[in-house]
Amino acid sequence: MTEIRLTNTKTGRREVFEPCNPKDVRMYVCGPTVYDRAHIGNARPVIVFDVLYRLLRHVYGAGHVTYARNFTDVDDKINAAALARKRAGAAGTLEDLIRALTDETIAWYLEDMGALGNLEPDHAPRATGYITEMVRMIEELIEKGHAYAAHGHVLFDVESYAPYGALSGRSGNDMIAGARVEIAPYKKNQTDFVLWKPSDDALPGWPSPWGRGRPGWHIECSAMAEKIFGKTFDIHGGGNDLMFPHHENEIAQSCACNGADSFARVWVHNEMLQVEGRKMSKSLGNFFSVRTLLDQGYPGEVIRMVFLGTHYRKPMNWTRKKARDAAAVLRRWRVAADGVTPGDVPPPVIETLAHDLNTPGALAELHTLARIGHAEDLVAGAQLLGLLTPQIGHWDWAVRKHTFGNVQFAGDGSETHGQLARSIGEKWMMFRSAKDFASADKLRDAAAKAGLMLSNDASGGITAKKESGFDPSLLQRLL
Ligand SMILES: [Zn+2]
């Protein structure tokens, strides 16, 4: 069996990964707080852990790996966003508006991450579905002397848990200096963090032994991971911006409740993302959503390839130039992969990837396979990285950039036929932009036999015209 090595933040070392049970490998990754479109930086952990998920499935078998990623759907930012909608005149109670906002944002998130070629996790728990488990865990923490109630709040007593700070290597003073620790008069120590807080009538709340209220953010992941995976599981992932305080607090809660060696055995953290060499920020104008990029015509597969080009433990720089380069490579690979049935994943690709998820190294292996013309191996290796997959579909960036939407279909208005004809038109343009005129001519002739006439139009686009003998099933085979 392939040996996977991962850098474990908990030990600071690269270690051979040994699951608790190879028949039941379990990975939990912190998901988004759902009140807005995912920005490009949010896509990084999703892609990193999607590749790890694919690798684990490859090594242990798809049926032996479980991936859970939560949705935080109770949070003050969500309340504020819903309240803003209400003030702007949206109809319904605040509760209705919160539900609509979180439902809508979750649907966007899945759609945008799917467009980048990510598989959906096996479990996508919403925090509001696990309030009972959170209350039970908080009660247990109080019983065991690790938490206390004060003024309708329940706080974790950081001093009661000696190993606190071990993951991030922070001491008590660093914690106050380095993080936004909320100063409150009811806290025994200012580093104590909220497990439960009171809700007034206007805010979402659930009954609890401490009055109507809502959970703090950190307890959500501890409670959901335990409910889904049990007290101990294999991998916990997330961005390194979550290491402190979120992950430190998750560990404190779960280990104080369930024993020192419980919770995740391996912690994997990805580095952050920059845009054109600068930290993303709204004021610099380089802050944009995944959807914005997709709508600008960047194919999801191109975005994914740019991400894979940087190792997860290094800061990643998104640039337009990288996207152009990735598109050029993928266009060549797609032409080579056309109609090819993937073989077995070549060992050098797996071994490189298994070495602490070395995605740039795995891409280099794919370049070699493409250069020597091993198309079956190329497709199999690329698919392990989530590239050249059927899910991610067909595209051509040159077409999209200059003339996308400009493949005109003159037909009977049937949307299915229109899409089919446009796809054939795009493929024809793809061959021509790759200067593969033999394939372009062959496709045009085959399309004509199936009743679709391809021709140039004056604007530089393409007209695909439906003629008699139009045969969608024949055309389908040409895609
Ligand atoms: Zn979390």
* pLDDT (tens place) for every residue of the chain, 479 residues total: 899 999 999 999 999 999 999 999 999 999 999 999 999 999 999 999 999 999 999 999 999 999 999 999 999 999 999 999 999 999 999 999 999 999 999 999 999 999 999 999 999 999 999 999 999 999 999 999 999 999 999 999 999 999 999 999 886 666 656 565 667 888 999 889 999 999 999 899 999 999 999 999 999 999 999 999 999 999 999 999 999 999 999 999 999 999 988 999 999 999 999 998 888 887 777 788 999 888 877 889 999 999 999 999 999 999 988 998 898 899 888 878 888 899 999 999 999 999 999 999 999 999 999 999 999 999 999 999 999 987 666 565 544 433 333 566 666 555 567 667 777 887 787 777 667 788 899 999 999 999 898 888 766 667 888 888 888 888 878 87
Q: Which CATH number fits the domain 20-273, given the four candidates 3.40.50.880, 3.40.720.10, 3.40.50.620, 3.20.20.70?
A: 3.40.50.620
Residue type, 385: L
Nearest to 357 by CA among 269, 232, 225, 241: 269
Q: 162 C-alpha vs ligand 1 centroid, how far in Å? A: 21
Instruction: Please say whether the dihedral angle defined by the alpha carbons of residues 256, 262, 266 and 272, taken in this order, is positive or negative.
Output: negative
Ligand 1 centroid distance, CA of 245 (Å) = 10
Check: CB of residue 23 under 8 Å from CB of residue 264.
no
In whole angstroms, give the CA distance from residue 132 to residue 22.
Answer: 31
CA atoms within 13 A on the CB side of 449: 11
Say what the pLDDT of residue 398 is. 45
Instruction: Decide if 72 contacts 36 (C-beta within 8 A).
Output: no
DSSP string computed for 52-72: HHHHHHHHH-GGGEEEEE-BB
pLDDT of the residue at 177 = 60
> What separation in angstroms does the CA of 468 have from each of 77, 410, 415, 418, 465?
58, 12, 18, 15, 10
Over residues 33-77, the pLDDT tens digits come to 999 999 999 999 999 999 999 999 999 999 999 999 999 999 999
Between CA 214 and CA 138 the distance in angstroms is: 12
Say what the pLDDT of residue 413 is: 55
Phi then psi for residue 275, to 5 deg, are -120, 125
CA 221 / ligand 1 centre spacing (Å): 5
Peptide bond into 245 cis (omega under 30): yes
CA angle, corner 278, sides to 78 and 275, nearest 5?
65
Q: Please give the distance, rounded to the nearest whole angstrom, from the Cα atom of residue 30 to the centre of ligand 1.
A: 4
Q: How far is the CA of 78 from the centre of ligand 1 (A)?
A: 17
Could you identify the residue written with the tokens 């703090």?
216
**CA 147 to ligand 1 center in whole angstroms:** 19
- Expressed in angstroms and rounded, the spacing between residue 252 Cα and the centre of ligand 1 is 13
Q: What is the DSSP string of 196-218?
A: EEE--TTS--B--TTSSEEE-HH
> Tokens representing 317?
């720089």
Query: What pLDDT, on the 0 to 100 scale, is given for residue 414?
Result: 56
Ligand 1 centre and the CA of 248: distance in Å?
A: 10
Count the neighbouring beta carbons within 10 Å of the beta carbon of residue 457.
12
What would the pLDDT profile of 298-351 be if each residue is shown by its tens digit?
Answer: 889 999 999 999 999 999 999 988 998 898 899 888 878 888 899 999 999 999
Angle between helices 347-354 and 43-60 (to 10 degrees): 120
Q: What is the DSSP letter of 175?
A: H
How many Å lie between the centroid of ligand 1 and the Cα of residue 226?
A: 12
388 φψ region: left (φ > 0), alpha (ψ -120 to 50), beta (else): left
pLDDT of residue 441: 93
Q: What are 40's two structure tokens? A: 């490009």
pLDDT at 176: 59
- Residue whose tokens read 């993951």: 167
Domain definitions of the chain by residue range: 20-273, 297-384, 399-476
CA of 236 to the centre of ligand 1 (A): 9
Q: Count CB-CB contacts under 10 A for residue 316.
A: 23
pLDDT at 473: 82
Q: Are 36 and 91 in contact (CB under 8 A)?
A: no
Distance 124 CA to ligand 1 centre (A): 13
| Ligand 1 center–CA 216 separation, angstroms | 11
Closest CA to 238 of 125, 393, 69: 69
Place of tokens 């993937």: 342
CA–centroid distance, 268 to ligand 1, in Å, is 13
